[in-house]
Amino acid sequence: MIGNFTYCNPTKLYFGKDALEGLNEELPKYGKNILLVYGGGSIKRNGIYEKVVAVLKAQGKQIFEDGGVMPNPTIEKVREGVERARAANADLILAVGGGSVCDYAKAVSVSVHCHEDVWEKYFIRFEDVSCEVVPVGCVLTMVGTGSEMNGGSVITNHAQKLKIGHVFGANVFPKFSVLNPEFTFTLPKYQMISGIYDIMSHILEQYFSGTDDNTSDYLAEGLLRSLIHSAEIAVEDPLDYEARSNIMWTATWALNTLIAKGKTEDWMVHMLGQSVGAHTDATHGMTLSAVTMPYYRYLLPYATAKFARYAENVWGVDRTGKTEMQVAREGLERMEAWMRKLGLVMDLTELGATREMLDGMVKSTLIMKGGYKVMDEEDIRAVLSASF
Amino acid sequence: MIGNFTYCNPTKLYFGKDALEGLNEELPKYGKNILLVYGGGSIKRNGIYEKVVAVLKAQGKQIFEDGGVMPNPTIEKVREGVERARAANADLILAVGGGSVCDYAKAVSVSVHCHEDVWEKYFIRFEDVSCEVVPVGCVLTMVGTGSEMNGGSVITNHAQKLKIGHVFGANVFPKFSVLNPEFTFTLPKYQMISGIYDIMSHILEQYFSGTDDNTSDYLAEGLLRSLIHSAEIAVEDPLDYEARSNIMWTATWALNTLIAKGKTEDWMVHMLGQSVGAHTDATHGMTLSAVTMPYYRYLLPYATAKFARYAENVWGVDRTGKTEMQVAREGLERMEAWMRKLGLVMDLTELGATREMLDGMVKSTLIMKGGYKVMDEEDIRAVLSASF
């Protein structure tokens, strides 16, 4: 751990089958007006909405509804949410859903008392929050983004064909999050494995960077091994509580700043995937899986030692009698086989992307500079072309 | 992760060569009166005292001195510190030192505004804090206990021959901790390796328990691998910043509640070691190393599968052609060889313990019930006897 850094993560987590009872401890800390944010209504069908509303009412809260948050929340929806929060004079924004709902809640929370244009300020100019923030709490129903314990928020601007993430500071982190693995049981398999791959990608974006010896990389390897093990069980039996709970906990620690401490980060898989997402509106995790193998194979010559370490420590590849490059390649082969077995999308065509979109996707891919090779437009084109 | 749990760790950490600058961000949050707590004066010889005082003065603080905290802080010293804090009307207790100094600061912090007997309330009756807590900040100069990011405090009562730890809640966690690996450079080798083993033992106390599949165990394995790797480097070259920084970061995460989430914990190595410490006043980490091998070998038949997993995932033991017990034993052999190479004390005699103390040590060993085998007095006697 070579660099200077600070660490502070104040989010309180309630985990387990009884986690929702945490609301009774948290809600009294806030005023009466609750903006209740959720997605397309699945929480009404599976009973979670009713359970949450019952607790809110028992706590004497006034509920202001803000449903219909879409999987890739748009800037138009954020602007609408800001108006709702202002009209409600919201004391707390309670997000009930997955990462999109949490991300949306955070984007609203920093904008209610801000009179600049939200998209321009946070997602184009990447400015810090300079106004009062409405506190956010989460009840998680979908696992993957880690949004329940970080300051991240990814918002889509369809007019500009951009999907951009901003990382807000610790005062925008959810004050509390309720993590009940059973709340994720009803999720369709496609969403579940997409979330699992999102988690894996978060860990890898932070792992494939840096050249120093760093405890963060050892923690990342531990999370990866746990995830690989539990994902295989969950795909066979989505009602396996133990596996689903490990996946949920891994997701939280995969992206709550811990495993990035003291090192650089890559994030190009996410930049590629988000560009695909902006053009196709495809499920986030699947956009990541579809571009991963072409990107990592492209990166291999620039980071052979790290990919070999990955192969050995995460995928159990035996180094005996092999070159470093052979070990590294074998690790990626095992990873690819695992991804295919899990049922992840490995081709952009399957996500509705066409070769006609290639120019646009290349243009809207943001270039990050923390990885083993700083990509240029031609690199991006090569990787995206190989993803079809 | 089967059980219900909550997680909240609000301590802000400043890490790296410039970490002390964090004081400029933190100090303005507190009032003028600072109780400056430290140990035997090594911080005056190595210049850290001067650096801290310079920042305090520049921030316009009034300094009230409370030096002389001993390695195993006594309840008498705590009572004296409470009087000093009251006399100073302390707004912040700033602990500059290792785990003993941090532990002491926490014990004082919960007692300043409490008028019950501190020893009885917290260390005998294990009661919760029911009075106002004076905030604590830490500047760490010695690595091992994890006290910089948890609510733990271990206090010794020589009259009663007891050394007891109490875990206070999140409001007693240090508000901030300054972690500069260079501040640990001047530590004598004996203290350094003792601290390293304390870290390892913290991880193992949480690891050797529970039967469910748990992400916490994977994180523990990651921390152990990082520690083993960096410890070897630090023993060869104590000025290797990279290794010392990894050790420092590992120490923090080894005992800040994360890797215990969702599982039971053992802590019998600490109970045995603390009993030895109460009778000999020996260095904490060395009391742990001296009892570890006898205890783990005693435990082996009750937890063979876990010890085999440990052997494979942490020590790289190949399972091929071996029974589970053989794999487990080989792991412990590798661990023992590593401990001896590091220079850890492996025999109680070396710590000043005699066989005449055995009865007393057996009696003052607290029995914990979260491990793979609940010990009774005869078990304790057998393990301690084998530690000579």
Interface predicted TM-score (ipTM): 0.95
* Nearest chain B Cα distance for residue A37, angstroms: 23
| Rounded Cα gap, residues B56 and B52, in angstroms | 6
For residue B178, name the pLDDT band (cuts at 50, 70, 90): very high
| CATH placement of domain A189-386 | 1.20.1090.10
Q: What is the reported pLDDT for A176?
A: 98
Report the gap between the CA of B28 and the closest CA in chain A (Å).
18
Average model confidence (pLDDT) across chain B:
96
Q: How many CB atoms lie within 10 A of CB A132?
A: 11
pLDDT at A161: 86
Calculate mean pLDDT across residues A116-136.
94
Q: pLDDT digits over A255-272, tens only?
A: 999 999 999 999 999 999
How many Cβ contacts (< 8 angstroms) between chains A and B?
133
Averaged pLDDT, A359-367: 95
What pTM did the predictor assign? 0.96
Residues B242, A1: C-beta atoms closer than 8 Å: yes
A18-30 pLDDT per residue, tens: 999 999 999 999 9
Domain parsing of chain B, residue ranges: 12-184, 189-385
A29 touches chain B (CB under 8 A): no
Burial of B16 (0-12, 13-18, 19+ CB in 10 A): buried
List the one residue out of A45, A100, A99, A41 whose CA is nearest residue A65: A41
Q: What is the mean pLDDT of residues A176-196?
A: 95
Q: Which residues contact A314 (CB under 8 A, 6 or more apart)?
A: A221, A224, A225, A228, A331
- Which stretches within A110-188 are classed as H helix? 118
On the question of a common fold for B12-184 and B189-385, the answer reads no
pLDDT of residue B276: 95
Q: Which fold has domain A12-183?
A: Rossmann fold (3.40.50)
Is 90 exceeded by the pLDDT of residue B1? Answer: no
Of the CATH numbers 3.90.245.10, 3.40.50.1970, 3.30.930.10, 3.30.465.10, which one belongs to the domain with range B12-184?
Answer: 3.40.50.1970
Average pLDDT on A184-205 reads 95
Give me the residue from A1, A18, A241 closest to B246, CB to CB: A1
- Look at the alpha carbons of A266, A78, A7, B29 in this order and tell me if their dihedral is positive or negative: positive
The average pLDDT across B305-324 equals 97
Of A262, A259, A9, A303, nearest to B223 by C-alpha is: A259
Q: What percent of chain A has pLDDT over 70?
A: 100
Interchain CB distance below 8 Å, A225 and B242: no
Contacts of A253 in chain B (CB under 8 A): 215, 219, 258
Whether the predicted pLDDT of B172 surpasses 90 = yes
CA-based nearest residue in chain A for residue B251? A215
The verdict on B156 touching A (C-beta cutoff 8 Å) is no
Query: What pLDDT does residue A366 have?
Result: 93
Whether pLDDT at B161 is above 90: no
Nearest to A313 by CA among B362, B350, B312: B312
Give A74-104 pLDDT, tens digit per residue. 999 999 999 999 999 999 999 999 999 999 9
What CATH class has B189-385?
A: mainly alpha
- In degrees, rounded to 5, the angle at the alpha carbon of residue B354 between the alpha carbons of residues B352 and B358 is 125
A87-91, Cβ contacts within 8 angstroms, sequence gap of 24 or more: A88/A33, A88/A35, A88/A62, A88/A64, A89/A33, A90/A33, A90/A34, A90/A35, A90/A64, A90/A134, A91/A30, A91/A31, A91/A32, A91/A33, A91/A34, A91/A134, A91/A135
Contact A262 B249 (CB under 8 A): yes
Residue of A2, A5, A7, A149 to mutate, interface with B, max B Cβ within 10 Å = A7
User: Over 90: is that where the pLDDT of B48 sits?
Assistant: yes
Phi, psi (deg, nearest 5) at residue B97: 160, -155
From B214's Cα to the closest Cα of chain A, the distance in A is 6
Give the model's confidence band at A3: pLDDT under 50 very low, under 70 low, under 90 confident, else very high: confident
Which position has the token pair 């992400």?
B215
B245, A1: Cβ pair inside 8 Å?
yes
Q: B 48-77 residues with CB below 8 A of A?
A: none
Query: Which amino acid, one-letter code, is at B81?
Result: G
Encoded amino acid at A41, one letter: G
- B208 φ, ψ to 5°? -85, 70
Contact A5 B15 (CB under 8 A): yes
Q: Please say if the pLDDT value at position A382 is more than 90.
A: yes
Per-residue CA distances from B48 to B38, B64, B195, B358 (Å): 11, 17, 20, 41
CA distances from A1 to A194, B200, B239 (A): 32, 19, 14
